[in-house]
Amino acid sequence: MRRAIWAAGAVLALATGPAAAQDDGLLGRWRTPAENGVVSIERCGAALCGRLVDAAPLRIDPDQRDVRNRSAALRTRPLKGLLVLRGFTGGPHTWSGGPLYDPNSGQTAGTGTLTLAGPDTLSVRGCIAPLLCRTQTWTRVR
């Protein structure tokens, strides 16, 4: 019985180990060009997600709300800790998923890609339609 449990654990470690290792280059804090923001990219279940942890308006008023959201029902939610990237999988250099949310415009891009262009450079591309995309370059916060 012990051997069966150990073997099952070893198989699980092998199945999840490489994927987790592929994500390591992407995990951490990234500075965005808009509002000097910082997004923390972390594991959320089997995928990666990103939360807004800092921005110029949050340093002035940490209780900033999502006032530009296109949905009136979501305009009272706090910006600090807001999930702005969700459901990204792949690696080791490109992850795809979505949605991506831009609190500056209140727009949600249904799909996107995160491309590690270098150890400290991340290309973030969000698309609301196949030919209607926007790309930003984020830099790692050390």
Burial of residue 9 (CB within 10 Å: 0-12, 13-18, 19+) is exposed
32-58 tens-digit pLDDT: 998 999 999 999 999 999 999 999 999
pLDDT of residue 21: 52
Structural domains in the chain, CATH included, are 22-140 (2.40.128.520)
Q: What is the pLDDT of residue 4?
A: 38
pLDDT at 130: 84
Q: Give residue-wise pLDDT tens across range 50-86.
A: 999 999 999 999 999 999 999 999 999 999 999 999 9
- In the predicted model, what is the mean pLDDT of residues 89-109? 95
Q: Which residue did the predictor score with more confidence, 30 or 21?
A: 30
Alpha carbon 88 to its chain's center: 7
Residue 44 to residue 111: CA distance in whole angstroms: 17
Indicate whether this model's pTM tops 0.75: yes
Task: Give first-to-last CA distance, the chain, whole Å.
Answer: 46
Do 109 and 128 form a contact (C-beta atoms < 8 A)?
yes
Residues 6 or more apart whose CB falls under 8 angstroms from that of 54 comprise 36, 37, 38, 80
